[in-house]
Amino acid sequence: MVRSLKPVRLLEIAAELGREVEGDPGLLICGVAALEQAGPSDIAFVRSAEHSHRVADTRAGALILLPDVDPGSCSAIRSPNPALDFARVVERLAPCLRPPAGLHSSAELAEDAEVDASAVLSACVVIGAGSRVGPRSVLHPNVTVYPNVEIGSDCVIHSGVVLREDTVLGDRVVLQPGVIIGGDGFGYLADEQGLPRRMPHIGRVVIEDDVEIGANTTVDRATFDETRIRRAAKIDNLVQIAHNCDIGEGAIVVAQSGLSGSTWVGSGAIIMAQAGSAGHLRVGERAFVGARAGLHKDVAPGSRVWGAPQLEARRWHKAMAALARLPDALRRLRAVERELGLRRARGAASTETAARTNDGARADRT
């Protein structure tokens, strides 16, 4: 349950969403909450008709729900996408607190660094030579910015983030704690003694507008050109994006996934948790890669793949269904083998008996 910084009437919320109110338009909304925790001055939401049975037990004052869901005794705002409109209400009622503009006394700036007067540089932030920080961007404590980095406007860079040299961030980029952008890629060559020698990585990382990257994710610099994360892509925690990857507009990469060098991900594609790719592969636009998939070849646009190695979704589901039947099939096979073994044993015994009989008959004739 989150309390609003400033209570607002339900009619105002509906107007901002472009929706109508059913019930009491003057209801004062003081907070947002889940259905189970909401009180009479809170607003909650019902995600789908499947959850409509939970309305009877809620104490919420108002609900955001689909047109065909009964709100019970609650006031209601009808929406074709209740979850999305509820997210907008949360942003309206409980906005993130922004520190006051300015530089903390412990922040360190190179002489030629440029920081907009409206930006926030918190304690122990370091800005390298030739770097620039745009309007209203917030750098939380212990952010390290190497030389020649560009940070656009309205970015939020959380504690412990490292931006290596030549990195470019667009506008409204959000980097969660511990993100490392622009570290050297994992590239080695064997020397004359067969030992690994590091390949220099002299490229950069470009992150376009409205990208969000989760905690402790790493995005490596390109070998010679650039690694690019395109507009509005969303990358979860603990993801590895290797050198020269290109992540498409609006693509989603979920936690603990790893993309090898030069992997290309199309716009709108979704890569689920713990998936991995071999290098130089293409994941097509709006493709879906299931959790823990292992990609060894390209994924066609709009297709759905699962498993390691990857299989088209229907084939994978059939394989998994067959796998579940294997223990029973194995039991039946062993039973058949035992029966066949007994039959062979009986046949061999009969053959041996017949042979002895024939030998005895021949002896008698002699």
Given 93, 110, 135, the domain boundary residue is 93
Tell me what pLDDT residue 356 has. Answer: 64
The residue among 298, 313, 328 that closes a domain is 313
**pLDDT at residue 355, as a whole number:** 60
- Among residues 201, 243, 296, 317, the one annotated as catalytic is 243
Which pLDDT value is given to residue 358? 64
Residue 204 and residue 134 share a domain: yes
pLDDT for the residue 344: 74
Return the closest-CA partner of residue 9 out of 24, 29, 23.
29
Residues 238 and 155 in one domain: yes
* Residue ranges making up the domain that contains 12: 2-93
56, 75, 93 - which closes a domain: 93
Q: Are residues 148 and 80 in the same domain?
A: no
pLDDT of residue 69: 93
pLDDT digits (tens, 9 = 90+) for 5-52: 678 999 999 999 999 999 999 999 999 999 999 999 999 999 988 888
What pLDDT, on a 0 to 100 scale, did the predictor assign at position 336?
Answer: 85
Active-site residue, 243 included:
yes
Q: What is the mean pLDDT of the chain?
A: 92
Q: Are residues 221 and 271 in the same domain?
A: yes
What's the pLDDT at 341?
Answer: 79
197 with 297, same domain? Answer: yes
How would you write the pLDDT of the chain (366 residues) with one tens digit per residue?
566 567 899 999 999 999 999 999 999 999 999 999 999 999 999 998 888 889 999 999 999 999 999 999 999 999 999 999 999 999 888 888 788 999 999 999 999 999 999 999 999 999 999 999 999 999 999 999 999 999 999 999 999 999 999 999 999 999 999 999 999 999 899 999 999 999 999 999 999 999 999 999 999 999 999 999 999 999 999 999 999 999 999 999 999 999 999 999 999 999 999 999 999 999 999 999 999 999 999 999 999 999 999 999 889 888 888 888 989 988 998 888 788 877 777 666 666 666 666 655 565 555
Q: What is the model's pLDDT at position 334?
A: 87
CATH number for the domain spanning 69: value is 3.40.1390.10
pLDDT at 7: 87
- Domain shared by 178 and 283, yes or no: yes
Domain at 178, CATH number:
2.160.10.10
Residues 57 and 164 in one domain: no
The predicted model scores a pTM of: 0.85
- CA-only gyration radius of the chain, Å: 32
Q: Are residues 300 and 153 in the same domain?
A: yes
Q: Is residue 338 part of a domain?
A: no
